[in-house]
Structure 1
Amino acid sequence: MTNLYIGIDVQANRHCPYAVLSEAGEMVESGWLSPNDLMSDLGAVADKYPVAAFAVDAPRMPLPAPRQWYWRGGEWVKRGATDKGRGRHCEVVVAAHRLANPQWTPLVADAPQWMRHGFAIFDALACRAHCYEVFPSAAYHMLRDVPEVCATLNFAQFQPGPKDMLDAVVGAVTVREYLAGRGQAVGDGDGLGHIVLPRPVAEPIAGVMQWPESS
């Protein structure tokens, strides 16, 4: 059972912040992974905390093919001629409940660099028992007016990107809440991964929670 949670906010050409939180929400360590040595830096953190749960703010994987189903007008409809076919089920769920605005995952050839870094991070952590995709913008929405969810921070590593580091912290908090049974994993009806949330979706839309091809 893990009692450490590591949030990573994935960037393109800038350093990626990470934050290590304890079960009590105390910041154990924070720092920045170099985009030029991302796998090496990530490996060093993973080796230092072998049983920690990871929270990664990036898509887990690219689309293997364009998305064929769209949620419109309260129902699933087939992709239209002008639809780009981007996005995974988990992102559709987040958008349909107005928790955040996803940056829709494309095919790997069309993926921006930060998403490619995210794919590589998930691949590198594939052997870990606990490695989750998080969405800090959705977490901020869900944790509004929830004062009991908190963390104790120091600011030693905030200066290079305060908002980015805060997103890493919120990612770690999200996974802590999820593993404690207070959150929810949504999506994966298309087999392309869940997004983990710090609280269950309020007033869930039953139809969008179920992927049409899995019904």
Structure 2
Amino acid sequence: MNEESLEFLETDIEDEKIASFSKRFRDDPRASEVVTELRRLGMDEKDIIIAFRHISRIPSEWETEKESKVSAEKRRASLSEKLISIAGEVENDPDLKGLCFGTNTICFGNPDPESEGFISLASCLKEGAAELQTQSSSDAPERAVALKKFTINTIFDLINNPEKRAPNKEIAALASILLGEEVSANDVSQARKKVRRKNYRD
């Protein structure tokens, strides 16, 4: 496959992460072989572009996934305080205090929304704050999946076709280009082992 076949990956998208990954991929000697395999898996140019956009965001997604328990508790406590404060302001605001929500409708000016199956905006905010406080008091374990493993499993979910051979070599290439470090097909097999065991138990 010649270089011209990779032109569809050139993008003028302003997102720096997408543009950077796309360029690094096109410059990599494995690019043509990877695209050939992705086509074999049934992906067309649009599918590949969409997958690459998701792949470029994997490190950012991992940062969110690995949020520690302490950080999560601080975030929830801070947001809960803000919601409670805003709820108080809404309750006293002449324009918003009558705003309430039903199953399929929004209404203004109902003096007692809960009595007629509605819930006020202020009540929604208070419930959100209460939910955050409940989450903060839970003993959820810290999430700390290694970036390489997270990357491998995310790329697998994006490009795998269960009717075709598992593209371990191509996943390794994509992960290597994204992370800037060597990732082998064996790394992919090892990362997928625990997932397969979990699926088998489930």
TM class, shorter-length: under 0.3
**TM-score normalised by L of structure 2:** 0.24
Which protein has the larger Cα radius of gyration, Structure 1 or Structure 2? 2
Pick 1 or 2: higher relative contact order, CA cutoff 8 A, min separation 6: 1
TM-score (normalizing by structure 1): 0.23
